[in-house]
Amino acid sequence: MNPTDRKGSIRLQLALATTAWLITASLLIGAGYLWFADRPQQEVDRELRSELQELQDHYQDLGPGALAEEVARRVEEHPPGHSVYLYAESQRTVIEGTLPHWPEGLEGGDEAATIPVEAATPHYRFERQLRMVALTLDDRRQLAVGRDISEHLRFQSTLQLAAVGALGLVILGGLAVGLGVSRSLLGRVVSMRDTIGDILAGRRGARVGVGPGGDEFDQLADQFNHLLDANEQLLLRMREVTDDVAHDLRTPLSRMRGRIEAALAGQEPPEEHAETLHALLEETDDMLDTFSALLHIAQIESRSVQEHMETLDLDDQARDAADLYQPVAEEAGLDLQTELEGGLRVRGNRHLISQALTNLLDNAVKYSHAPGEIRVTTRRAGERAELCVSDQGPGIPETEREHVLQRFVRLDSSRGTAGTGLGLSFVAAVATLHDANLRLEDNEPGLRITMEFPLA
């Protein structure tokens, strides 16, 4: 099932929300428009009423004759397209006024009314819209004042048309933008989902496309790809380990099996049984060592020992390990020197750092030729503390330095010596756990290995 097709899909929700907001906004704008558009007409009505009042006052003060004169004067003064005046005997006979007839529908009273009137000029006839107020005078005659609001009404209707059109466009546009935005945003989420699907389906190389913009989605995609890379690395490493374990444990197991089989088949004289058993015991112990070293490295790499971190004195660690190896080095004709900075406190697991140090010293003693010097050094380097073991042995060629940190890697030159081939992998794992940089350098001659810890 395609999740975006569901009723609860984000795309639909987003589009609905956008539409709801647009409609609300449109209604608010419309109400505002109507309220404002009505105001000019009220203004006109007020003017008309006051002019009518003026004329009524004129009538009451000076009599009907004067009113007729005044009306005639105002008719003269204002063109019919602007103002209209009517003074009529009844609703049929106009005494004086702009129009020849009393318009149909115009009643006396306080109410203003919009009246359509056929206006004729010598050249053409057309319909005008008049806003009029009328009243009945004391002598039953009728008086009316009006304004031509045709232009205003035409303008208003144009405005209404424009507003409705604009609203329609806004709603349609909003919908389109909403759909477009949600489609483009969700497209990227969907692309991530599809990538996960691909990976789950076994295409482990699949990655999410990262746009050039560097926006939040790009950052998410980038992080996501990093996660996938790390995951892939882990998988690769796990496969390597499995292969290595298969190789490095299967070989001695086959050897042991062959030996046991030969002993059982009576191919060796019984007096050699004890010797065979001793050899088997040794082989078993070696395998157990390899096995626990592998397990230990795996535990460190999974960071399950993080909780045992304490603040410790790096110099003490170096001194203890050097103390332990001093006699062995001397026996081998090597001069083991310590050069300690003092006061270097780092955050770490004491047991792991000690074991990494003894691994390094073990290698240094194993691969050095007498006479030679092994140095254990601690040094402050800015915000970091360096712990360094150097020897004057054959060293490691630059091209091999990365390689020797992997599990079971032993250079051909060291095939004959004892060891699990896990010593440096262990050191590398301990360094990673402590956020320490691990450097393998040329000691000219020999190898210099430096672990660079953050200071506590």
Partner 1 sequence: MKFLLVEDDPVASDYLAKALRESGHVVDAVDDGALGLSRALHETHDALIVDRMLPSLDGLSLIESLRKQGRTTPVLIVSALGEVDERVRGLRAGGDDYLVKPYAFSELLARLEVLVRRDQGAPAETCLRVADLELDLLKRTIQRAGEPIELKPREFQILEYLMRHAGQVVTRTMLLESVWDYHFDPQTNVIDVHISRLRQKIDRGFDPPLLRTIRGAGYALREPD
| Residue whose CB is less far from partner 1, 173 or 327 | 327
Of 356-395, which residues contact partner 1 (CB under 8 A)?
358-359, 362, 365-366
| Residue whose CB is less far from partner 1, 366 or 384 | 366
**What letters, b where the CB count within 10 A reaches 16 and e where it falls short, cover 212-235?**
eeeeebbeebeebbeebeeeeeee
Distance CA 252, CA 385 (A): 41
Q: Which one among 292, 302, 413, 445 touches partner 1, defined by CB under 8 A? A: 292
Q: Which one among 5, 127, 138, 307 touches partner 1, defined by CB under 8 A? A: 307
| Residue whose CB is less far from partner 1, 261 or 323 | 323
Locate tokens 């103390």: which residue? Answer: 323
Q: Give the contact letters, 70-109, x = binds to partner 1 (CB under 8 A), - = no.
A: ----------------------------------------
Distance CA 64, CA 45 (A): 25
275 scored as a contact of partner 1 (CB under 8 A)? no
Of 310-339, which residues contact partner 1 (CB under 8 A)?
320, 323-325, 327-328, 331
Q: How far is CA 105 from CA 23, 108, 312, 430, 431, in A?
A: 39, 10, 105, 102, 101
Task: Write down the number of H helices and E strands in the chain.
Answer: 8, 12
CB of 411 to partner 1, least distance (A): 17
Nearest CA-CA partner of 447 in 410, 397, 409: 397
Nearest CA-CA partner of 392 in 417, 370, 423: 370
46 scored as a contact of partner 1 (CB under 8 A)? no
CB of 223 to partner 1, least distance (A): 32
Across the chain, which distance is largest between two alpha carbons, in Å? 160
Q: What DSSP state is assigned to residue 439?
A: E
Nearest CA-CA partner of 420 in 270, 313, 297: 297
288 scored as a contact of partner 1 (CB under 8 A)? yes
Half-sphere exposure of 314 (CA within 13 A, CB side): 29
Of 393-452, which residues contact partner 1 (CB under 8 A)?
418-420, 423
CB of 318 to partner 1, least distance (A): 13
Residues that bind partner 1 (CB under 8 A): 288-289, 292, 299, 305, 307-308, 320, 323-325, 327-328, 331, 349, 351, 354-355, 358-359, 362, 365-366, 418-420, 423
